[in-house]
Amino acid sequence: MINPKIEKELNNQINAELYSAYLYLSMSAYFESINLKGFANWMRKQAEEETSHAMKFYRYIIDRGGRVVLDKIDSPQKDWPSPLDVFEETYNHEQKVTSLINGLVDIAISEKDHATNNMLQWFVTEQVEEEASAGEIFEKLKVIGNDSNGLLMMDMELEKR
């Protein structure tokens, strides 16, 4: 049976993961609106990945005999000044999610819940990848600046994801 404190925090994380999916889907829609289909594709794939993360938590709670309780998902931002601003927010958001995952690990350790700690290690590793990916694109966009040719090349690169 799952520890009630852990169950509550994992349910909160489901909400955070679904918000991430909403945010990235909103970013995808923004990129569609400015005809950057590759950027839109990257964000759509990111939204799908965040949904799959939520489902990992969902399944884990159920497998441990807990109850999934879904809460409302806040509306994400809809517009950004530039692609650079989108990826700055993406990078910052992934750092926030990393902090949330690390907090869950801390709780699992303090509650001596070894199974949950073990499950969370996948997310710890995943967040290293998530931050690196978003950070790399953010840094490239800083180099590109206002160069439309560079932005279009980046768009073609992100279409391949």
* Residue 161, helix vs strand vs coil: coil
CATH of the domain at 134: 1.20.1260.10
pLDDT for position 161 = 86
Task: Find where tokens 């909160």 sit.
Answer: 12
Show the tokens assigned to 152: 């279009």
pLDDT for position 146 = 86
Query: How many Cβ atoms sit within 10 Å of the Cβ of residue 23?
Result: 22
CA 50 to chain centre: 5
Tell me the C-alpha distance between 87 and 137, whole Å. Answer: 7
pLDDT for position 58 = 98
Q: What range does the domain containing 92 cover?
A: 4-159
Number of domains the chain is built from: 1
pLDDT for position 8 = 98
Phi first, then psi: give them for residue 87, nearest 5 degrees. Answer: -75, -25
Show the tokens assigned to 102: 């690390």
Q: pLDDT tens digits for the chain (161 residues)?
A: 999 999 999 999 999 999 999 999 999 999 999 999 999 999 999 999 999 999 999 999 999 999 999 999 999 999 999 999 999 999 999 999 999 999 999 999 999 999 999 999 999 999 999 999 999 999 999 999 989 999 999 999 999 98
